[in-house]
Amino acid sequence: MGKDHLHGRGARSNAAGRYERFAVEAFDDGWAGEEIARLDTIVTPELAKSIISTNQSPDISFDQSINPYRGCEHGCIYCYARPNHAYVGLSPGLDFETKLFVKANAAALLEAALSKPNYQPRTIMLGGVTDIYQPIEARLWNHARDP
């Protein structure tokens, strides 16, 4: 007799609850073994109106943030920023990972914001809704340096 991996457990299965709205059943749809085509990353430059975003949340320790990108090529499935892509009519799924936007005028906007006479230096969160160090950064940086 084999080892009982469920020894000490009350339930013997992980069936869906009876109040679940949707049920999922496994079946062979004929896609097994099909190779999925590689998804290329599409980077679209956009001209932002501002680069420093502000918030008034008492739950976080900063009230300013900079997000140079929209979307993230890393594609962490647990990322809380995924729903932000829906604001521009894109999917929080694969679109979030493959259809990225870069704020092309970020440096100029930041310089202008920090140069204002009434600017008060405070903590600025970098990348609150995107990773500021993405794989596309290498391509963008090399492109910017080439004459």
Break the chain into its structural domains and give their ranges: 42-145
Q: Round to whole Å and give the CA distance between 7 and 110.
A: 60
Q: What value does the mean pLDDT of the chain take? A: 82
Query: How many Cβ atoms are within 10 Å of 66's Cβ, its own excluded?
Result: 20
45 has pLDDT over 90: yes
Per the DSSP assignment, residues forming a β-bridge with 69 are 102
Helix (H, G, I), strand (E, B) or coil at 82: helix
* pLDDT at residue 4 in the model: 67
pLDDT in tens, 109-138: 999 999 999 998 989 999 888 888 888 888
Residue 27 — pLDDT band, cuts 50, 70, 90? confident
10 has pLDDT over 90: no
DSSP code, position 69: E
* pLDDT at residue 9 in the model: 55
Task: Record the pTM.
Answer: 0.68
